[in-house]
């Protein structure tokens, strides 16, 4: 990553470098992001994949919800696209339009395809005919039908749910990037669409995200640390707590010996035993009183880590980011289990239930992150 950062510093002007973000409605980057999002939508509209004679865009409920889950995770849960307020918050909502079109282009079914002669398409037609013969088509919810408009869509939903189970943002976003990159490469080869328009629309959307990119979690965390510690009347304790909290934020974790060394700078005249007792008291306050840090045990002993909510500014938007993912996981698991269509036929002994079990496990794991303690 350091090599990439050095390359961007050398190749990209200061004004357009990543992490500049959008500061206000009068910031030139705000208008550039809006323009790039609009350009992305225009390129998708011109793409014949959405209709050879006129633009046809039928909203798939699952794809729209998938776009909301991904954008909310980036923008509100991890604060990777600036602080969720003002101009940034508006751009978060406008981002949903081109990003939903992007996911539809990658994993949806093209309205320009008159007849799907693939095995998946033939199977879908036969299931629809059987449902019409039995009279159950009207009783099947539309969002369940949306799940099987494309062979890539159920696999993509499974992959996103699997990525949501990762606790570390780097693993979660890296996994998601691989899923989107694989879908993008497949979309370029779609016979109904234009690779040029697809690439141009994706490039404009990527440039908009790059301009808006501004990881605000650390800034939000530092502000919360200062607000929590301003009630401390003992100046030495205040400075020691501030050192421990900010160093834990910088390193992601802090061992006991490092915490003692940081405390020594504020209490140079006390004995080693007293210093450890003071450090234990200060770290205990940071964990239980201020709720800024957490204690976690590993093979090397007890270490300090930051609270998961430390870098979160708006608890309401964080809930908006978490609830759709949980409902998405629960509904998808239930619908997949009761659906007659399976990746592995249930008729195969033992092996036939593996796909249903895998979906249930992924759905259960997705509930772990918001309620971890």
pLDDT of residue 117 exceeding 70, the answer is no
Q: Alpha carbon of 358 to those of 13, 159, 191: distances in Å?
A: 47, 11, 33
Q: Determine the average pLDDT of the residues in 102-110.
A: 86
pTM of the model: 0.67
CB atoms within 10 A of CB 276: 16
- Gap between the Cα atoms of 61 and 92, Å rounded: 19
Please give the average per-residue pLDDT across 191-201, as a whole number: 91
Q: Determine the average pLDDT of the residues in 158-174.
A: 73
- Whether residue 173 is contained in a domain is answered as yes
Among candidates 328, 315, 307, which has minimal Cα distance to 147?
328
CA distance 161 to 245: 33
**Which pLDDT does position 370 carry in this prediction?**
47
Banded model confidence at residue 76, pLDDT cuts 50, 70, 90: confident
Residues 288 and 244 in one domain: yes
The answer to the question of residue 10 being in a domain is no
What pLDDT sits at residue 204? 95
Other residues' Cβ atoms within 10 Å of the Cβ of residue 106: 25
For residues 167 and 283, state if they share a domain: no
pLDDT confidence of residue 349: 61
Within this chain, do residues 55 and 85 fall inside the same structural domain, yes or no?
yes
Q: How many angstroms separate the CA atoms of 166 and 217, rounded?
A: 18
Mean pLDDT confidence for 79-104: 89
CA–CA gap between residue 30 and residue 15 (Å, rounded)? 12
Domain edge (last residue) among 214, 244, 277 = 214
Tell me how many degrees the CA angle 34-39-44 measures, rounded to the nearest 5.
130
Q: What pLDDT, on the 0 to 100 scale, is given for residue 40? A: 96
pLDDT tens profile 6-54: 544 454 444 444 456 788 888 888 999 999 999 999 999 999 988 877 7
Query: How far apart (Å, rounded) are the C-alpha atoms in residues 119 and 327?
Result: 31
222-259 burial: b if 16+ Cβ within 10 Å, else e: bebbeebbeebeeeebbbbbbbbbbebbeeeebebebb
Mean pLDDT along residues 94-120: 77
* pLDDT single digits (tens) 340-366: 656 666 556 665 666 667 767 766 666
Is pLDDT above 80 for 192? yes
109 and 74 in a common domain: yes
Say if residue 205 is in the same domain as residue 342: no
* Alpha-carbon gap, residue 119 to 129, rounded angstroms: 15
Cα–Cα distance for residue pair 44/136, rounded to 1 Å: 35
Shared-domain flag, residues 192 and 327: no
Residues 174-184 have pLDDT tens digits of 888 888 998 89
Cα dihedral sign for 118, 124, 127, 129?
negative
SS3 for the chain is: CHHHHHHHHHHCCHHHCCCCCCCCCCCHHHHHHHHHHHHHHHHHHHCHHHCCCCCCCCCCHHHHHHHHHHHHHHHHHCCCECCCCHHHHHHHHHHHHHHHHHHHHHHCCCCCCCCCCCHHHHHHHHHHHHHHHHCCHHHCCHHHHHCCCCCHHHHHHHHHHHHHCCCCHHHHHHHHHHHHHHHHHHHHCCCCCCHHHHHHHHHHHHHHHHHHCECCHHHHHHHHHHHHHCCCCCHHHHHHHHHHHHHHHHHCEEEHHHHHHHHHCCCCCCCHHHHHHHHHHHHHHHHHHCCCEEEEEECCEEEEEECCCCCCCCHHHHHHHHHHHHHHHHHHHHHHHHCCCCCCCCCCCCHHHHHHHHHHHHHHHHCCCCCCC
What pLDDT is attached to residue 98? 95
Q: Is residue 106 part of a domain?
A: yes
Q: Please indicate, yes or no, if residue 122 is contained in any of the structural domains.
A: no
Of the residues 271, 286, 306, which one is the last residue of a structural domain?
306
Is residue 83 domain-resident?
A: yes
CA gap 208, 214 in Å, rounded:
12
Same domain for 147 and 185, yes or no, is yes
In whole angstroms, give the CA distance from residue 82 to residue 78. 10
**30 or 135, greater pLDDT:** 30
Residues 105 and 90 in one domain: yes
Segment 271-280, tens digit of pLDDT: 889 999 999 9
Per-residue confidence band for 119, with pLDDT thresholds at 50, 70 and 90? very low
How many C-beta atoms surround the C-beta of residue 279 within 10 A? 21
Average pLDDT over residues 219-246: 87
Q: Which residue has the higher pLDDT, 175 or 133?
A: 175
Q: Specify the number of domains making up the chain.
A: 3
Range of the domain at 82: 16-113+143-214
In a domain, 91, yes or no: yes
- Identify whether residues 54 and 100 lie together within a single domain: yes
The mean pLDDT of 251-279, rounded to a whole number, is: 89
pLDDT more than 90, % of the chain? 17
Question: Regarding predicted confidence, which is higher, 112 or 33?
Answer: 33
pLDDT score for 109: 77
- The span from the CA of 37 to the CA of 202, in Å, is 10
In a domain, 135, yes or no: no
171, 198, 214: which is the final residue of a domain? 214
Work out the number of other CB atoms within 10 angstroms of the CB of residue 267.
Answer: 16
Phi, psi of 76 (to 5 degrees): -110, -35
Query: In angstroms, how far apart are the furthest CA atoms of the chain?
Result: 87
Question: Within this chain, do residues 199 and 52 fall inside the same structural domain, yes or no?
Answer: yes
Q: Is 63 found in the same domain as 172?
A: yes
The rounded percent of the chain whose pLDDT value lies above 70 is 67
136 in any annotated domain: no
Same domain? For 192 and 59 the reply is yes
């Amino acid at each position: 990553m350091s090599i990439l950062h050095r390359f961007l510093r050398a190749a990209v002007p200061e004004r357009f470098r990543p992490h500049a973000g959008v500061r206000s409605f009068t910031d030139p980057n705000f208008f550039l992001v809006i323009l790039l999002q609009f350009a992305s939508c225009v390129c998708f509209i011109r793409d014949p994949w959405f209709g050879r004679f006129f633009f046809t865009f039928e909203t798939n409920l699952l794809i729209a919800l998938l776009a909301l889950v991904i954008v909310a995770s980036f923008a509100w849960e991890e604060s990777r696209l600036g602080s969720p307020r003002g101009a940034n918050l508006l751009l978060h909502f406008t981002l949903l339009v081109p990003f939903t079109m992007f996911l539809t282009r990658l994993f949806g079914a093209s309205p320009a395809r008159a007849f799907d002669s693939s095995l998946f398409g033939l199977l879908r037609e036969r299931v629809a005919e059987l449902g019409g013969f039995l009279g159950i088509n009207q009783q099947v919810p539309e969002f369940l039908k949306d799940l099987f408009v494309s062979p890539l869509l159920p696999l993509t939903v499974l992959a996103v749910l699997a990525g949501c189970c990762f606790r570390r943002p780097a693993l979660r976003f890296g996994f998601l990037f691989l899923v989107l990159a694989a879908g993008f490469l497949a979309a370029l080869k779609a016979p109904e669409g234009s690779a040029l328009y697809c690439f141009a629309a994706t490039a404009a959307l990527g440039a908009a995200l790059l301009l808006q990119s501004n990881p605000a979690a650390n800034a939000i965390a530092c502000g919360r640390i200062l607000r929590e510690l301003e009630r401390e009347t003992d100046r030495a304790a205040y400075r020691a707590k501030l050192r421990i909290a900010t160093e834990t934020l910088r390193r992601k974790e802090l061992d006991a010996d490092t915490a003692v060394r940081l405390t020594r700078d504020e209490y140079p005249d006390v004995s080693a035993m007293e210093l450890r007792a003071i450090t234990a008291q200060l770290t205990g306050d940071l964990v239980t009183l201020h709720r800024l840090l957490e204690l976690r045990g590993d093979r090397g002993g007890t270490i300090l880590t930051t609270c998961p909510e430390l870098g979160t500014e708006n608890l309401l938007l964080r809930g908006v980011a978490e609830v759709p993912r949980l409902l998405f996981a629960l509904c998808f698991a239930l619908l997949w289990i009761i659906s007659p269509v399976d990746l592995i036929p249930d008729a195969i002994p033992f092996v036939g239930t593996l796909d249903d079990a895998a979906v249930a496990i992924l759905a259960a794991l997705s509930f772990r992150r918001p309620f971890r303690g």
